[in-house]
Amino acid sequence: MGIDTWAIPLNAKTTVVVEAIGPIMTVHLNGVFAGFFEAPGTRPSGWAHLFVSDLWYTPANAVVANIRISAITKSQFPLCGLTNQMQLGPKYGGKVNVPVDYSLSFEITPKANVAGWSSIIHYSKDGKDNETPGSRMPAVFFHPGSTHLHIRIGLEGATNVGIDTASPLPLNTKTKVSIEAIGHHLTVYFNGVWAGFYVANAPRISGDAYLFLSDPFYQAADATIENVVLKAIQTSQVPRPDLASSFKLSQNYYGTVNVPADYELTFAISLLAATPNVWTSVLHYSKQPVDHGVEGSRMPGIWIHPDTTTLYVGFDCIGKQNEIVNTAALPLNVASTIKIRAVGKTVTLYVNNVSVSAATCEGDRISGLAHLFVSDPWYAPANANVKEICMVACVD
């Protein structure tokens, strides 16, 4: 039992420091964390025979100097507090508890892109990179050559699932990253703005874990980190607009909701401008959750056509995806009340209580639990204010 480090350079002096505190043994090479080991029981101590080198192996072809052993009560390589700014590099942060449901937040300032995967922060139950479901709980990396985040967790029966963010973090700018794990949902926010999510199909791994900033398995991200906070939560700590209030559209995830078999979905929308050349999202209910291509991915989804103020509503039926109803052009800077009434196989679209379009499925419409996005992560938000978003079951 013990530690294996990376290769030390030939013909160059390396200062090796081995620390043993309680069951934990660590090694630092020239002040850089290079590995650790946790003893399964009490380590032997007391009087011992000293060999330099020993009798049982050939001597290493090396010169040594300044050998000493001394009693310690704390490491000479402290993290200096997780609130203080530090340059990322392999550092061991001790053993911590990862709650069942948690928020992990930190402020990071990337300085440059790094070729290859680069490590930011890593919680590992077994002290390994990616060998068991508890190896990443979570682990956070930058993608090779970019500052897109790669966030990975372990589940019962799965070792490496999670989120890859669509947007990179800006260089030389501080960004607050908040990762929330509640139930089966893993969500990440940048400066309070939703940036990605993952829905697990099995329980996440929690409990005691070793903390690394960054880990010893990958090169360190070229970045500083500060204000690292891991805490237990029951509900999201990131505020989102109240669906009844008036707010400007941005990408927000509202969790899972129930889409009744028959329903009315109503909201008011004030379009501020048409968006050239691209579809823009208003709101989206999706079972999977994906944009389209899988039955139940639009139940419904609502967008604005490119270059216009025409509302587009897509919904899925059994056997056919993305049935469509549309409005005429909506006025700018005026609130329009939208009602989508879905009863039986027919969906009818109303603007200001006037029926403007209808479509009928050959098969039944898709209903049940869905992920709600206002707006969705696959399109830019519509340039609009919305309010009074409400879906209710129809009983007639």
Q: Give the pLDDT confidence of 218-276 residue by residue, as tens digits.
A: 999 999 999 999 999 998 888 889 999 999 999 888 888 999 999 999 999 999 999 99
For domain 86-232, give the CATH number. 2.60.120.560
CA dist 90 and 121 (Å) reads 10
| Amino acid 125: pLDDT | 94
Are the C-beta atoms of residues 382 and 375 closer than 8 Å to each other? yes
CA dist 175 and 192 (Å) reads 10
Are the C-beta atoms of residues 192 and 64 closer than 8 Å to each other? no
> For 185-204, what is the mean pLDDT?
91
pLDDT category of residue 155 using cuts at 50, 70 and 90:
very high
| Amino acid 264: pLDDT | 96
| Amino acid 215: pLDDT | 93
For 262, residues 6+ apart whose C-beta sits below 8 A from its C-beta are 342, 343, 344, 393, 394, 395
| Amino acid 80: pLDDT | 55
- The neighbouring-strand residues paired with 347 are 342, 359
What are the residue ranges spanned by the domains of the chain? Answer: 1-77, 86-232, 247-393
> For 173-185, what is the mean pLDDT?
95
pLDDT category of residue 81 using cuts at 50, 70 and 90:
low
- The neighbouring-strand residues paired with 29 are 16, 32
CA dist 196 and 253 (Å) reads 9
- The neighbouring-strand residues paired with 312 are 303, 326
**Amino acid letter, residue 133:** P
**CA-wise closest residue to 69 among 52, 94, 56:** 52
Q: Reply yes or no on domain 247-393 having CATH 2.60.120.200.
A: yes
The model's pLDDT over 307-318, given as tens digits with 9 standing for 90+, comes to 999 999 999 998
Half-sphere CA count of 317, side-chain side, radius 13 A: 16
Cα–Cα separations (whole angstroms), residue 32 to 53, 118, 139, 180, 240: 25, 16, 20, 30, 41
For CA atoms 205, 210, 212, 217, the dihedral sign is negative
Domains 86-232 and 247-393 in one fold: yes
Which range of 235-239, 276-280, 376-380 scores highest in mean pLDDT? It is: 276-280
| Amino acid 37: pLDDT | 81
74-96 core/surface letters (b: 16 or more CB in 10 A; e: else):
ebeeeeeebeeebebbbbbbeee
**CA-wise closest residue to 38 among 210, 235, 243, 219:** 210
| Amino acid 320: pLDDT | 86
pLDDT category of residue 79 using cuts at 50, 70 and 90:
low
| Amino acid 381: pLDDT | 95
**CA-wise closest residue to 260 among 396, 104, 168:** 396
| Amino acid 130: pLDDT | 95
> For 206-221, what is the mean pLDDT?
94
**Is the model more confident about 61 or about 95?**
61
Q: Is the model's pLDDT at 98 over the cut of 80?
A: yes
